Amino acid sequence: MRLVEKLLRDQACTEEDLARELVIEPQALADYRTGHIPMPLERQLCLALVLIGRGSSYARFGHQLRAQVAAAASFESRHISANDTVGSRSR
At 18-71, the pLDDT tens digits run: 999 999 999 999 999 999 999 999 999 999 999 999 998 999 999 999 999 999
pLDDT at 77: 81
The ranges assigned to domains in the chain are: 2-89
Residues with Cβ within 8 Å of residue 77, at least 6 apart in sequence: none
CA distances from 11 to 66, 67, 69 (A): 22, 25, 25
What's the number of CA atoms in the CB half-sphere (13 Å) around residue 51? 24
